[in-house]
A and B are shown apart, each in its own frame.
Chain A
């Protein structure tokens, strides 16, 4: 199904999204990857606040290229989400709900998503030039010393995504692959008969 959704990603909204849905996302999201996640979780451990309000927030796993003069942001496709698996349940426990990335997640992340009603969206990995076009505003908000890994607040319009894992734990990586293999299998069967 194709859906246009406006952020923030509330619990109610999250529950309407299902693995395999094509989604066009509009609203404010936050960027963070390896080093930023480590710092945010260390801050939470010390009882400090995060650089942004995590409630119903969506985090984009991205380290963009530097913006050329006149650009809002450089190329900005997703990085491999699995490296954030150690931190994602902690961030969901304080209210963060949406994650945008690519690649497989650990079972403990999926369990946390079911518990906190999280959604894992896939952006097309390697399509950094295309995805940058959906980013209308970019503002550095913390950890500037991390360079490409610094925390940014982005405003995106109609960002093309696919729901990979939904809040019930359904997974497009598993379902999409087996659906394709079944279609090939049944196709072969038909040819034979």
Chain B
């Protein structure tokens, strides 16, 4: 990462894309074997307030499961997901040594092979056919100030992904429309996404941005709140409402239907109010590294 100074030019930090490959390889394995501490804490807190025998037993097994995965370095869940990769690239960084997209996919390929992770990607949505190496990654790049590259790997399982939903509301639907949609989506998901769930909500932007916001909401710590007190309160209220549904761990009935809910927002058009709800499970994985 030697900084190169050319005459009459600003200093530009150079980063070889092979370093991004190496980091993604490592993060794919770590994310799949070690659940984030905030997710573990949320599960443990929910266990403490679950009285039912079956519900409590399920949460005990979920805790035992992530402890085994930690200790024995094995995947927490067999659905090791599609590799969602978020790159925040400092605008003062010059990436060298090859194609960035190829470097990212190479990292996924190596990580899923070396980590004995399941290859769950098909090369065509209709004609199917496994690609055999879990590529391509679902890759998002953002240019940010600075001279670092921040890499987040979020392996996303599809039991929960399949239960997600997006709706383009009329602005007249208001706050109540959004609240009802979030609860309806979780209720419709029921036992399918391996509850207790983590719920990511994206409100605003365009059709595509709302969905991306919802995915990013899943990458945010469950100990954090939306910085806007209005949305922080809405996060709390929605989590309470969801936990009044009674779906419970694995859908067997109980208090703990969701262990967390994060909301992300963007400004939107005068005519619209998009809302996306991305459902995730108790194995909500993400791991971040900085180069």
Contact = CB atoms under 8 A, between A and B. Distances in A.
Interface string A113-140: 0000000001011111110110000000
B118 A65 contact: yes
Given A68-B116, A129-B76, A130-B64, 6 more contacts: A104-B191, A122-B252, A148-B119, A175-B253, A178-B246, A184-B255
B78 A64 contact: yes
Contacts of B80: 65
Contacts of B54: 20, 22, 162, 176
A80 B79 CA distance: 11
A52 interface: no
B281 A130 contact: no
Interface string B36-71: 000000000000000010110110011011101100
B254 interface: yes
Contacts of A176: 54, 248, 251-254
Given A74-B118, A172-B252, A125 B78 contact: no
Which residue, of A74, A129, A146, has the highest number of chain B Cβ atoms within 10 A?
Answer: A129
A103 B76 contact: no
B79 A173 contact: no
Nearest to B281: A126
B132 A65 contact: no
A66 interface: yes
A32 interface: no
Contacts of B119: 147-148
Contact of A128 (B57, B65, B190, B254): B65
Interface in A141-193: 146-148, 160, 162, 164, 172-173, 175-181, 184
A74 B281 CA distance: 20
B251 A127 contact: no
A110 B173 CA distance: 38
B116 A125 contact: no
B75 A75 contact: yes
Given A102-B194, A126-B194, A75 B253 contact: no
Contacts of B96: none
Contact of B78 (A128, A146, A179): A128
Nearest to B132: A147
B251 A80 contact: no
Interface string B126-138: 0010101000000
Contacts of B246: 177-178, 180-181, 184
Interface of B: 52, 54-55, 57-58, 61-62, 64-66, 68-69, 72, 74-80, 116-120, 128, 130, 132, 159, 162, 190-192, 194, 244-248, 250-255, 281-283
B118 A22 contact: no
Interface string A55-88: 0000000111111100100111101101000000
16 contacts: A62-B78, A63-B78, A68-B74, A75-B74, A75-B78, A102-B191, A102-B194, A103-B190, A125-B281, A130-B61, A132-B74, A164-B252, A173-B191, A175-B253, A177-B246, A178-B246
Given A125-B281, A177-B247, A80 B192 contact: yes
A64 B252 contact: no
Secondary structure of the B contact surface, majority rule: loop
Contacts of B69: 75, 129
A80 B58 CA distance: 17
Contacts of A180: 52, 55, 246, 248, 253-255
Given A65-B118, A148-B118, A177-B247, A79 B159 contact: yes
Contact of B283 (A65, A76, A126, A164): A126
Nearest to A69: B116
Contacts of B57: 22
B247 A66 contact: no
Given A124-B58, A126-B194, A129-B68, A177 B78 contact: no
B192 A77 contact: no
Which residue, of A67, A124, A132, A162, has the highest number of chain B Cβ atoms within 10 A?
Answer: A124
A65 B159 contact: no
